[in-house]
């Protein structure tokens, strides 16, 4: 009797019935964030090989056979090896398929069948090297997709930074809260491990300013700026300090439609500190 639903007869090789077994498996898979994401690289490779054989069955190019042990139907595909597009298989029923998998797991490691990676998928380092150029300074410059001045590569259906991947390959995992920074100035697409080092977010910001990669948000380039450069030049040229009837901060603020404190910050050089060269005579 099934130990989950207590109504159906359990499988002769499992404590659950067929429906409860599938439900339990789906719950465990979903708890890990989805079936494919929960698999290891070896399991993913095996799944691709199995999918290839089942697709042949759907297209009628591979004819199902009764169980080769007991002759029962329906039967399942049991792979004897997992080389890409392998058809070295046996047709077994549920019970004998489980027994065959159990025997395979109990074999000594020297005799276990090892999974073979797909030869069409080149090694990650070989992929990275084939898409890079070596400069006289020793930089390994990425020549493919670049985002925000940093090289990107597709790995396991995700876009990752090439320099971070290079650090993990040659030096191990990146500690939490740490950034992979460049010693070579202006080469954000370099992934030479000798040109990389670890630093925090403050060090990353300091390097960005030092290398001239920090965005200029001063003056009218700032998205929050209200006045233009010509208006700033007009304010500083026409401003009359300590004037009650002339161009004081109050009158200028009314003309420009801003607050008095905004105009005072400009004439006192608290804001817009950079020198402004303008001969504008009108607003």
**Rounded distance, CA 94 to CA 11, Å?**
10
Contacts of 68 (CB under 8 A, 6+ apart): 75, 90, 91, 92
Give whichever of 79-88, 101-110, 221-230, 252-261 has the largest mean pLDDT.
Answer: 252-261
Distance of CA 235 to CAs 33, 77, 92, 217, 256, Å? 60, 83, 89, 21, 10
The whole-model pTM stands at 0.40
255, two tokens:
């003309």
pLDDT in tens, 6-64: 888 887 767 788 888 777 776 666 655 556 666 677 777 778 888 888 888 888 888 88
The mean pLDDT value of the chain amounts to 78
CA distance 85 to 242: 88
Rounded CA separation 175/13 (Å): 45
Q: What is the pLDDT of residues 230-265, one digit of tens each?
A: 888 888 888 888 777 788 888 888 888 888 888 888
In Å, what is the CA distance from 100 to each residue of 49, 85, 130, 149?
A: 18, 21, 42, 53
For the purposes of burial, counting CB atoms within 10 Å of the CB of 20, is it exposed (0-12), middle (13-18) or buried (19 or more)?
A: buried
For position 34, what pLDDT does the model report?
Answer: 55
Which of the two residues, 226 and 197, has the higher pLDDT score? 197
Each residue of 178-200: pLDDT tens digit?
A: 889 888 877 778 888 888 999 88
């Amino acid at each position: 009797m099934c130990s989950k639903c207590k109504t159906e007869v359990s499988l002769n090789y499992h404590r659950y019935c067929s429906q409860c077994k599938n439900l339990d498996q789906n719950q465990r898979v979903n708890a890990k964030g989805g079936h494919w994401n929960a698999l290891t690289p070896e399991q993913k490779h095996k799944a691709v090989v199995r999918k290839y054989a089942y697709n042949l069955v759907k297209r009628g190019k591979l004819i199902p056979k009764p169980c080769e042990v007991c002759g029962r139907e329906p039967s399942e595909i049991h792979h004897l090896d997992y080389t890409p597009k392998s058809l070295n298989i046996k047709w077994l029923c549920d019970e004998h398929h489980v027994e065959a998998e159990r025997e395979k797991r109990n074999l000594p490691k020297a005799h276990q069948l090892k999974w073979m990676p797909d030869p069409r998928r080149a090694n990650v380092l070989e992929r990275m090297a084939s898409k890079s150029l070596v400069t006289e300074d020793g930089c390994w410059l990425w020549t493919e997709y670049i985002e925000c001045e940093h090289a990107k590569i597709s790995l396991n259906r995700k876009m990752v930074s090439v320099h971070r991947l290079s650090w993990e390959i040659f030096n191990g995992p990146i500690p939490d809260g740490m950034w992979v920074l460049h010693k070579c100035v202006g080469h954000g697409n370099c992934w030479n491990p000798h040109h990389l080092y670890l630093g925090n977010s403050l060090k990353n910001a300091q390097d960005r300013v030092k290398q001239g990669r920090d965005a200029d948000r001063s003056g009218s380039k700032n998205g929050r700026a209200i006045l233009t450069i010509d208006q700033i030049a007009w304010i500083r040229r026409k401003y009359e300090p300590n004037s009650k009837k002339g161009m004081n901060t109050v009158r200028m603020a009314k003309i420009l439609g801003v607050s008095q404190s905004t105009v005072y910050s400009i004439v006192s050089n608290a804001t817009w500190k950079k020198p402004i060269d303008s001969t504008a005579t009108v607003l």
